[in-house]
Structure 1
Amino acid sequence: MILVGLTGGIATGKSTVARMFKQCGAVVIDADQLAHDVVKPDKPAWREILKTFGKAVLNPDRTLNRQALGAIVFGNRTRLRRLERIIHPRVAREQARLTRQAARKNPKAVVVYDVPLLFEAGVDTRVDKIVVVTADRETQIARLKKRNGLSRAAALRRINSQMPLAEKIARADFVIKGPLTPTARRQQVRSILLALRSPD
């Protein structure tokens, strides 16, 4: 089994690449989904977030209001790190459990761990190979404005809260440079999978 870390900048097309890896036969574990799961109402992480950031981060149904929480932590490194310390260890435990499960099912599985903050959270030390998905800054901004309804300034704050893409590229084993046509992107995914499955 090989564990691959999939990362990139925000709004670089990483989720699309993850879907393609899955369609091509890889097992995909989504860190964002795990992060959603560990902060469900009344779970330990949820209680800790509430204690740290107050009731203003809750929706009427007691789920976390991600927009409100984002407004508090983005642009404030100390608060962002505090939130990460609550969520990341719990996500890591769940990822390890799912990876073991995948390895038991298929000892030759390629497990792709889709994690936006791969380097920032130190996950890069726990994976065998790293794939970085990139896009130019204007593409990122346009996607964030369209997808999240953010202003240009808010989009830039999100982008700048992450490690620069150039640093991620320098530490990658494989780079998928975007924006690409779906066909070109699928070809890249297939060739990366081929290289992973036959490392010799």
Structure 2
Amino acid sequence: MKHNNCKIIGITGGIATGKSTVTSMLIEKGYKVIDADKIAKQVVSKDSSVYREIVTYFGEDILKNDGTIDRKKLGNLVFRDEYSRKKLNDIVHPHVLLTIKETIKRNMEKEKILFIDVPLLIEEIDNFKKYGIVFDEIWLVYTDEKTQLNRLIRRNDISEEEAIYRIKSQMPIDMKKRYVTRIIDNRGDKKRLEEQVDEVLKEII
């Protein structure tokens, strides 16, 4: 897929490294961000074909009283079992990738830069290529594993054991550094994070 004059920039990180904070900053600055997680929530909405496939495979125990998918219950299942996680990804990801591709097509004439926020971008990079989605740059929102662990426990109100399971289910954050164009270091405060975002934006514009 040719981008014309529009730059496609992927934003990734590890769980609880501060990726959403960076994308919020970009949105506030007027940039368009395509959020893979939001798209994933839309494609599994109640009574969609994806929803039915997930319920058929994982059973009705993963549903809330209103019939919608309980993401916490489903998360607890898949973070502990690699096969289940792969199965869920196989069901959901093709629909997410197709929606991302269509959203890029709709927006690339009017935007100079399109940001795509994808938690598992490096792990999924080959699938993006299959759908013709090519990134001009990939930014990694980085923090060390100890900070990541503490933030995840606080943010999700989960045990240390549960947080470790979730972090271990992803590629180690230090390994991700090898695959990216730029690293945004989020070990400091929010002010320092925003300064880095501004610096990087100046460089690419």
TM-score normalised by the shorter chain: which range applies? over 0.9
Q: Secondary structure at the match of 1:132?
A: strand
* Counterpart code for 1:160: K
2:31 aligned with 1:29: no
What do residues 129-171 of structure 1 show as CA deviations (whole Å, max 9, x unaligned)? 1000111212111111111111001101000000111221111
2:178 aligned with 1:170: yes
Which ranges of 4 or more aligned residues in structure 1 deviate by more than 6 Å?
none
Question: Does the CA-based 8 Å contact 2:145-2:173 persist in structure 1?
Answer: no
Aligned equivalent of 2:67: 62
TM normalised by structure 2 equals 0.91
* Counterpart code for 1:20: M
Question: Does the CA-based 8 Å contact 1:5-1:124 persist in structure 2?
Answer: no
After superposition, residues 178-189 of structure 1 pair within 5 angstroms as 178-189=186-197
Q: Structure 1: where are the runs of 5+ without partners?
A: none
Aligned equivalent of 2:3: none
Paired with 2:195 and 2:102, the residues of 1 have a C-alpha distance of 31
130-139 or 181-190: which moved more?
181-190
150-159 or 175-184: which moved more?
175-184
Paired with 1:178 and 1:191, the residues of 2 have a C-alpha distance of 14
Displacement, 1:48? Answer: 0.5
Paired with 1:160 and 1:48, the residues of 2 have a C-alpha distance of 26
Aligned equivalent of 1:14: 19
Percent identical among aligned pairs is 36
Match of 2:102 among 97, 106, 111: 97
Q: Structure 2: where are the runs of 5+ without partners?
A: 1-5
Paired with 1:71 and 1:164, the residues of 2 have a C-alpha distance of 19
Paired with 1:120 and 1:42, the residues of 2 have a C-alpha distance of 29
Aligned equivalent of 1:140: 148
2:113 aligned with 1:121: no
Displacement, 1:193? Answer: 1.7
TM-aligned CA distance change 1:50 to 1:60, over 3 Å: same
* Counterpart code for 2:197: V
Paired with 2:104 and 2:52, the residues of 1 have a C-alpha distance of 27
Match of 1:161 among 169, 188, 192: 169
Displacement, 1:186? Answer: 1.2
Question: Does the CA-based 8 Å contact 2:122-2:179 persist in structure 1?
Answer: no
TM normalised by structure 1 equals 0.93
- Say how many residue pairs are matched: 195
